[in-house]
Amino acid sequence: MKEKTYVEDIDRNIYDFKYDDKDAYKLKAGLTPEIVEQLSAEKHDPEWMRQFRLDSLKLYNEIPVPDWGPSIEGLNIDNIVTYVRPNTNMKADWKDVPEDIKNTFERLGIPQAERKSLAGVGAQYDSELVYHNVREEVAAKGVVYTDMESALNGEFADMVKEHFMKLVTPHDHKFAALHGAVWSGGSFVYVPKGVKVDIPLQSYFRLNAAGAGQFEHTLIIVDEGADLHFIEGCSAPKYNVANLHAGCVELFVGKNAKLRYSTIENWSKNMYNLNTKRAIVEEGGTIEWVSGSFGSHVSYLYPMSILKGKGSRMEFTGVTFAGKGQNLDTGAKVVHAAPDTSSYMNTRSISKDGGISTFRSSVVVTKEAENSKSAVSCQSLMLDSISRSDTIPAMDVRTRKANIGHEAQIGSISDEAVFYLMSRGMSEEDARACIVSGFADNVSKELPLEYALEMNNLIRLEMKGSIG
């Protein structure tokens, strides 16, 4: 009997370690007005934020669970602890961070990456930032990179109030409302007019506590003509109870500004990742999304771009790897709301060992978006017949003066491609390994080298057999 080509699952050993959270402060599990009030008091919220949280909770209770995506029946919000404060305040020096937490980030390689290739780092442990620092020369240009709590109560309070959940409102969907009610942690970034940040900023989110939720809020404002690359990483150890991630990312890209937002998501396989990301782009501005989805039990993740200004553009590059026990529903959304806008989505998905991967997208072209262009390309690779791979792309075009294209392919490893490589001297095993590795290349080539290596390590494709 022919032995099938086997692709090894993602090696999670480097992420699957945990520390006791006995010293941490926790709210009790569940979601009630009292818990939200208590959280608000813990966070020293201004009054408007306290009321915002309570209004969001009301909406959360009114909005139904989505009827169109993967099942989230295993998630019971009554069992989720919405706030876990680690036993430390935020530090600006790693040596001041408690040993167990520092060890966590050391093992994840964050301090090393900061020294080598980052302009600033924010590290969140459960519900709060434990470390935040930005290089002096970057700060000297006027770049603000701080935690959301400091921004909310400091000199940027008005700016936060003006932008907070204005792009993703609590009315959007049930988990946006949940985020509005119980958000904590996250980063605030402001890049002033004309400032180009040459090396990336990174926020890393680590959820250590079992049965907890993480609800960080990322708010980035890139002013006119400015340029930023922001990297987001996330991971958690595996528990036997459900964990929840319902973060929110709001990106404001100014006139002729450019923002690249890269994410390597590797939550543990007990995680429900119900995340919302959205960007609004002014005239001539550019948003680029690079997204690798590897972890989680269930994911709903579709970064959305609103091309509001004339000539604004969006690119989305994504790869999703769904293995055993995973149902990853990922993709992107774009709204062309102004003339001469353009968008390009390029995605790859791999399903194996019973994993379910769904590519879901929407391209909306309004009547005002004359001379706009959009192209969507999605490719899916099925590695066995106990998995699933679906593509559900939607297009809504309301102007004749648009040029919209879409293509999708789904299939298995091509015997012809294997034969081609073998005819050039490769073994069959190497040929198959090369094809699967190359399939995800569209994302890794868009990342800085260190992160591309991390992503390749994540995929860690080990091939064996297949001959005979």
Partner 1 sequence: MGQIEEFKINPLPSITWNWLRLNDVNVKWNMDIGPCNIEIKEDNNEKAKDADIWGDIKTGAGEAADVIFAGENGKANVAALSFGNSDNAEAADSNSGVCEKVVHVDITSNKTSSAGVLKIHGKENSSVSVIETFGKGGNGSIAFRTLVQAEKNSRVRLVQIFLEDQTLLNDVGCVCEENADLEVLQIFAGKGNLYNGIRTDLKGDKAHTEKSIGYLGQNKQVVDINLVVNHLGKKTGSEIQVDGTLKDEAEKTFRGTIDFKNGSSQSVGAETENVLLLGDNVVNKTIPVILCAEEDVEGSHGATIGELDEETMFYFASRGIDQELAEDIMTKGKMEVLYRKINDEVTEKLVEEQLAEVMGYDREEV
Q: Contact with partner 1 (CB under 8 A): which of 77, 410, 426, 434?
A: 410
Q: Which is nearer to partner 1, 87 or 399 (CB)?
A: 399
Q: Residues 246, 215: contact at Cβ < 8 Å?
A: yes
Is 406 among the residues that bind partner 1 (CB under 8 A)? yes
Q: Contact with partner 1 (CB under 8 A): which of 33, 74, 411, 465?
A: 411
Part in contact with partner 1 (CB under 8 A); list of ranges 44-52, 186-194, 313-321, 395-403: 395-403
Q: Which is nearer to partner 1, 13 or 385 (CB)?
A: 385
Is 127 among the residues that bind partner 1 (CB under 8 A)? no
Part in contact with partner 1 (CB under 8 A); list of ranges 123-131, 149-157, 270-278, 394-402: 394-402
Size of the site for partner 1 (CB under 8 A): 36
Q: Which is nearer to partner 1, 159 or 408 (CB)?
A: 408
Other Cβ atoms within 10 Å of 368 Cβ, number: 14
Is 399 among the residues that bind partner 1 (CB under 8 A)? yes
User: What does each C-alpha distance from 397 to 304, 305, 359, 371 come to in angstroms?
Assistant: 17, 16, 20, 12
As measured in angstroms, the least distance from the Cβ of 304 to partner 1 is 11
As measured in angstroms, the least distance from the Cβ of 303 to partner 1 is 14
Q: Contact with partner 1 (CB under 8 A): which of 116, 166, 196, 367?
A: 367
22 Cβ contact partners less than 8 Å away, ≥ 6 residues apart: none
As measured in angstroms, the least distance from the Cβ of 199 to partner 1 is 37
Part in contact with partner 1 (CB under 8 A); list of ranges 7-15, 251-259, 359-367, 440-448: 359-367
Output the CA torsion 177→182→184→188 (10° steps).
20
Q: Residue 54 forms beta bridges with which residues?
A: none
Cα(83)–Cα(35) distance, integer angstroms: 9
Considering only residues 293 through 322, tell me which ones interact with partner 1, judged by CB under 8 A.
none
Q: Contact with partner 1 (CB under 8 A): which of 100, 227, 390, 428?
A: 390
Is 353 among the residues that bind partner 1 (CB under 8 A)? no
As measured in angstroms, the least distance from the Cβ of 319 to partner 1 is 17
Considering only residues 31 through 70, tell me which ones interact with partner 1, judged by CB under 8 A.
67-68
Cα(455)–Cα(465) distance, integer angstroms: 24
Is 405 among the residues that bind partner 1 (CB under 8 A)? yes
Output the CA torsion 220→223→225→226 (10° steps).
-40
Cα(223)–Cα(348) distance, integer angstroms: 32
Single out the residue of 261, 331, 255, 258 nearest to residue 293, CA to CA.
Answer: 331
Is 407 among the residues that bind partner 1 (CB under 8 A)? yes
Is 400 among the residues that bind partner 1 (CB under 8 A)? yes
Is 408 among the residues that bind partner 1 (CB under 8 A)? yes
Is 382 among the residues that bind partner 1 (CB under 8 A)? yes
Q: Which is nearer to partner 1, 47 or 68 (CB)?
A: 68
296 Cβ contact partners less than 8 Å away, ≥ 6 residues apart: 245, 265, 267, 268, 269, 271, 272, 273, 326, 328
3-state secondary structure of 282: coil
Cα(163)–Cα(155) distance, integer angstroms: 15
The upper half-sphere exposure of residue 166, i.e. CA atoms within 13 Å in the direction of its Cβ, equals 12
Gyration radius (Cα) of the chain, Å: 22
Which residues of this protein are in contact with partner 1, per CB under 8 A? Answer: 67-68, 360, 362, 367, 380, 382-385, 387-412
